[in-house]
Amino acid sequence: MARTQNSQNFDTIAIHAGQEFDPTTGAVIPPIYQTSTYVQESIGHLRGGYEYSRGGNPTRTVLETLLAALEGGKHGLSFASGLAAEDTILRALLAPGDHIVLGNDVYGGTHRLINRVHGAWGILNSTVEMSDLAAVEEAIIPGETKILWVETPSNPLMKVCDIAALVEIGHRHGVTVIVDNTFASPALQQPLAFGADVVVHSTTKYLGGHSDVLGGALIINDDALAEKAQFLQFAAGPVSAPMDAWLTVRGIKTLSVRMDRHCSNAQAIAEHLQDHPAIDRVYYPGLSTHPGHELAKKQMSGFGGMLSISFVGGAAAARSFAESTHLFQLAESLGGVESLVNYPSEMTHASVRGTELEVADNIIRLSVGIEDVADLIDDIDRALAAA
């Protein structure tokens, strides 16, 4: 758990927060404390506050301090995966009989966790169109709804919803507002500044940025809630391992420069595709035709590296495209330096088939990497010609 008061700017924070050179050797990079336990000076007298690595580890502390600073929050907690972070905050806030309102296009794994895992313990949920503020207000059951779960831009249709307006509605009803900020990353959007109570991340994606490590995070301002989440982190043990925390810190150092390139590459690809005869629609908030464009301009400092396209030729054309690209490799996940193509209805969103969250079968999602954009467009054009 980390506290920060940082007056530096984002790009500096990303490289330095929580990190000082090693006082014993002068090593610029804080070492990976690959240890499960710590020798005590005398019984109960700890050196530096560390007792056992489930409770705390110096490499994890670096990451947790950094995460809090990046989101402008007070407390950062790091986890073994995004879903481990989500599970922890759900358990910190909910008791059987409580109700949660979530977007009708949240990450499929989030819906599965809330609906099937927490649902089995008596947690009720409603899915709602988060960009429809009246519908959100209507979905809240006074006294029973405890969480409003917001994801913007959403996956895979890149819908943008108004964080400040949702916070206003939530707080008026005593509801905790949680924002999954995985798609934007703190380089482009900082939900706590709009009044959100908790930020959730799958650090597996843009924060780690290299498709080589799983992780999750919670950033929380409220001391009592942070303490509850920290207790669960210790008591249930879904913590990030030292090596994983270190890899994530390493990735975060280049977050800003990576996001710049992700954004400019995705913008160029979206513009290239929007008039293509094989493409029905391009879903990218950076296009002025996107319904969330103005709002995204207001609450984000860039439009991100994720875009989706729907095919005039239906499922067959979409599948053929996804299997024809080379630079865009066919894989789940997103946010790495390398470009990926995904067929949501059978890959990332297979778990929500048959529900309101089902994704149309003519949709392809692209995680646009930071390769040379001319090569990426060439790859797309070849696949479109083959599709």
Ligand X SMILES: *Cc1c(COP(=O)(O)O)cnc(C)c1O
Binding site for ligand X (CB under 6 A): 81-83, 107, 109-110, 151, 155, 180, 182-183, 202, 204-205, 214, 216
Residue of this chain nearest to ligand X (CB atom): 82
Give the containing element (helix H, strand E) for 15.
helix 10-16
Marked catalytic residue, from 33, 38, 50, 107: 107
Lookup result for tokens 């464009």 = 293
Q: For ligand X, which is the closer residue by CB, 4 or 155?
A: 155
Q: For ligand X, which is the closer residue by CB, 85 or 136?
A: 85
Q: Is-contact 127 119, C-beta < 8 A? A: no
- CA torsion 268-269-273-274 (nearest 10°) is -50
Active site residue 205: yes
Q: Return all residues near 68 (Cβ < 8 A) that are at least 6 apart.
A: 2, 3, 4, 74, 75, 76, 219
Marked catalytic residue, from 87, 105, 180, 244: 180
Among the residues of 237-302, which ranges form H helices?
242-252, 255-273, 293-299
Active site residue 228: no
What's at 34, amino acid-wise?
Q
Q: For ligand X, which is the closer residue by CB, 196 or 383?
A: 196
CB 365 to ligand X: min, Å: 11
Active site residue 54: yes
What's at 236, amino acid-wise?
A
Active site residue 180: yes
Marked catalytic residue, from 60, 74, 146, 205: 205
Q: For ligand X, which is the closer residue by CB, 366 or 383?
A: 366
Relative to beta strand 145-151, strand 329-330 is: unpaired
Relative to beta strand 176-180, strand 198-202 is: parallel
Q: For ligand X, which is the closer residue by CB, 64 or 180?
A: 180
CB 363 to ligand X: min, Å: 16
Length of the chain: 387
CB 39 to ligand X: min, Å: 33
Among the residues of 120-254, which ranges form H helices?
133-139, 163-172, 223-236, 242-252
Residue 92's CB is within 10 A of a number of other CB atoms, namely: 21
DSSP string covering 211-228: SS---EEEEE--HHHHHH
Give the CA angle between residues 299, 305, 311 to the nearest 5°.
110
Query: What is the maximum alpha-carbon separation in the chain?
Result: 74
From residue 30, give the alpha-carbon distance in Å to each of 33, 64, 66, 246, 265: 9, 14, 13, 9, 33
CB 71 to ligand X: min, Å: 15
Marked catalytic residue, from 54, 91, 228, 382: 54
- Residue 168 burial (10 A CB sphere; 0-12, 13-18, 19+): middle
Q: For ligand X, which is the closer residue by CB, 334 or 373?
A: 334
Q: For ligand X, which is the closer residue by CB, 153 or 242?
A: 153
CB 95 to ligand X: min, Å: 23
Catalytic residues: 54, 107, 180, 205
